[in-house]
Amino acid sequence: MSASSPGYVRRYTPERGMLGKLMARDSVVRRLDWILLLSALALSAVGSALVYSATRNRTELNQGDPYYFLFRHVLNTGIGLALMVATIWLGHRTLRGVVPVLYGLSVLLVLAVLTPLGSTINGAHAWIVIGGGFSLQPSEFAKITIILGMAMLLAARVDAGDRAFPDHRTVVQALGLAALPIAIVLMMPDLGSVMVMAVIVLAVLLASGASNRWVAGLIGTAVLGAVLVWQLGILDQYQIDRFAAFANPALDPAGVGYNTNQARIAIGSGGLTGKGLFEGTQTTGQFVPEQQTDFVFTVAGEELGFLGAGLILVLIGVVMWRACRIARDTTELYGTIVAAGIIAWFAFQAFENIGMTLGIMPVAGLPLPFVSYGGSSMFAVWIAVGLLQSIRAQKPIAA
């Protein structure tokens, strides 16, 4: 009986099954976006050098070990890579089926910050201290679940072929899903994370094809919400001081404006080629606070100069370019929305972080993706890279 005969049954053999699995894995590896992966790895490698330079002399922080933060930064990157691999292995479509569970867990973690489990670090009550010098910032993972949850709702009927774009009821449901974690994070208050989440929501709506009236309404609501937050006194005093220092750079240069003034001095002193890695006087003299996290870009500006800092911008630009290609090339709305949310997240957070060191954005306590020291942020961005790689690697489901 030939293979084309109606009664022909293809026999399964362990060898054929194993071969098929190996071929599938090889196909996934070949379909990965290696430019995206290598660019993100390069950013983390540069970040390792900058974190080491910023902390090797900080004996009050590194417990007398100059390699303390370097080791942990490399360890965080390694864990992040493992999470990326796990995300690719599971696939964004598999994760789509467990989004409600992931969303519920992320909301519980964010809520836990408001309980006695939460801790205040650098003025922000946004952390859960685990012990052994490790802490968790749940809002970083909430960014991912907001993207996945909104994408699941907005793309469900479109990918099924029932509608050409999300209807108003679906948009309301998606906005409600995002509103809950955003409201909790605002109560901490962690204004920087709220700003990122708001940009994510806007990008997701734009990518979904929802009516422009929703986008305009969302922008108007955000402006109104910002005014209410200010008028109702929800912000802590240190956050108000940051905005005041941004509006008036000459305000209290030894107090609320100290960070941004020292950051600009460090970057400006680097010139074209910098003072040399580990040779920055502002960095060695510990003039810039939080230089391994929020102000890590100042180390690049001072020690690597305009060229070195420009390289970081180029690498971030390459990551954005490859992510945009993935969003454009996918054939399912779900993948497009997820990629668009990640693009908005990375782009805005990088712009805010670098902008606040240059004085063109208010200080908001946001890390530079892949570069700044911090476990939660590193884990989250590498999970996001795993989602992008999964969208690119998985072939469209045959109709």
Q: Is it the case that residue 125 has pLDDT exceeding 90?
A: no
Kindly report the backbone phi and psi dihedral angles of residue 290, in degrees, each rounded to the nearest multiple of 5, phi listed first.
Answer: 50, 45
Q: Is it the case that residue 19 has pLDDT exceeding 80?
A: no
Query: Do 277 and 303 form a contact (C-beta atoms < 8 A)?
Result: yes
Query: Do 230 and 242 form a contact (C-beta atoms < 8 A)?
Result: no
CB atoms within 10 A of CB 27: 12
Dist. CA 379–CA 284, nearest whole Å: 28
Position 200: which residue type? I
User: What value does the mean pLDDT take over residues 64-93?
Assistant: 93
pLDDT of residue 196: 95
pLDDT of residue 187: 84
Q: Which helix (H) or strand (E) holds 351?
A: helix 333-358
Q: Is it the case that residue 1 has pLDDT exceeding 60?
A: no
Residue 201's closest CA among 227, 177, 170? 177
Q: What is the pLDDT of residues 361-391, one digit of tens each?
A: 888 889 999 999 988 999 999 999 999 999 9
User: What value does the mean pLDDT take over residues 280-287?
Assistant: 86
CB atoms within 10 A of CB 394: 19
pLDDT of residue 247: 59
Q: What is the pLDDT of residues 91-108, one digit of tens each?
A: 888 899 899 999 999 999
Please state the pTM of the whole predicted model: 0.87
Query: Do 209 and 170 form a contact (C-beta atoms < 8 A)?
Result: no
Q: Report residue 6's pLDDT band, with 50, 70 and 90 as the boundaries.
A: very low
Q: Is it the case that residue 217 has pLDDT exceeding 90?
A: no
pLDDT of residue 232: 66
Q: What is the pLDDT of residues 145-202, one digit of tens each?
A: 999 999 999 998 888 777 778 888 999 999 999 999 999 998 887 888 999 999 999 9
Domains of the chain, residue spans: 30-393
> What SS3 class is residue 58?
coil
